[in-house]
Chains A and B, each alone.
Chain A
């Protein structure tokens, strides 16, 4: 086994800093200055929170709808069903995220196995 740990160029690191680190860290830095006296319940924050909640849900949906790798070989209903079973386990276990992950994983493993993966 051998890995090209650093990749072929500097580009992935520059991309990580510019497209991932800076766009997220900017909010944390802003918080340092705003942490005195900002109203968490202001209208703009409520709106932005709703936008990000929808966006995060969309991220999950897009992984389930159009996954990469071998997950794409499992039918859509099984991918969505596994997530729903995980969510059901979460509700039934009084909010155990671990139970959700374990149950969802068992479902997707069974589905993938029965489809010959």
Chain B
């Protein structure tokens, strides 16, 4: 009897998470994954690997970076390093969210799987909803939500790949801009402090310079390291000045 009501409860919360995903986030993520699919097609990546990239990598920005770098003919080592650097934020997302989901009784494999599903959209949704939710409801809600997103995004990346070669140039051009639009809005939208704004501003300013002068597909990496380090140092100086002004 107890077991039945427990599994009923699990279904209830998983369905609520799924409904929440269907109400918006799935569609909006899928829109950008159509664009990602068309980038993958242009990069010459086969459909199977394109589809697989969604559940395997499960980080839209990293997938855009990966297919974009392949299209640009970047060196394999540069792709791996740039991708890894851009995914450092996953460490932050996971570290801040995992304690909210984790349960001592969970096996390592289960923790690994739950953790693998953490990305920008699922993190934002979780931070909004999970704190007020009872502990037993969190995992089913999260799983329901994230699997709807994953299903939609996997279908969408395939649709984008397939359509890319068929659609008229007008629609093709528009589809290729979905990813940078979504991506830039998300990066700017997540900016909270001076250091974020400086990093974004310098990232934009350095992009043409890095493209022109840094060879071998390391341009994005050099851009990130230089603009990010300057933003970090400038932010420290700002903080020090504020601290000395306060005393």
A→B interface (CB under 8 Å)? 1, 3-8, 12-13, 15-32, 34-36, 38, 40, 45-71, 73-74, 79, 82-83, 86-87, 90, 95, 97-98, 100-101, 104-105, 108-109, 112-113, 117
Contacts and interface: CB of A to CB of B under 8 A. Distances in A.
Interface of B: 24, 28, 31-32, 38-39, 42-43, 45-49, 52-53, 56-57, 59, 61-66, 68, 70-72, 76, 79-96, 98-99, 102, 108, 111-112, 115-116, 118, 162, 164, 166, 168-174, 176-189, 191, 195-196, 198-200, 202-204, 206-208, 210-211, 219-221, 223-229, 231-232, 235
Given A69-B172, A83-B180, A45 B115 contact: no
Given A55-B220, A69-B173, A34 B95 contact: yes
A66 to B, nearest CB: 7
Given A4-B46, A95-B189, A31 B181 contact: no
Contact of B49 (A7, A73, A90): A7
Contacts of A63: 64, 68, 176, 179-180
A71 B199 contact: no
A105 to B, nearest CB: 5
Contacts, number: 313
A56 B187 contact: yes
Given A97-B189, A105-B181, 16 more contacts: A6-B48, A20-B53, A25-B57, A27-B90, A36-B99, A50-B235, A51-B85, A53-B231, A54-B223, A60-B183, A62-B207, A64-B180, A87-B184, A100-B185, A109-B170, A117-B169
- Looking at chain A's contact residues, the main secondary structure is helix
B220 to A, nearest CB: 5
A28 B42 CA distance: 29
Contacts of B229: 47, 50-51
Given A48-B88, A95-B189, A55 B223 contact: yes
Residue of A16, A57, A101 with highest tally of chain B CB at under 10 A: A57
Given A28-B118, A29-B112, A101 B173 contact: no
A46 B238 CA distance: 14
B60 to A, nearest CB: 11
Contacts of A54: 199-200, 202-203, 206, 223-224, 226-228, 231
Contacts of A38: 95
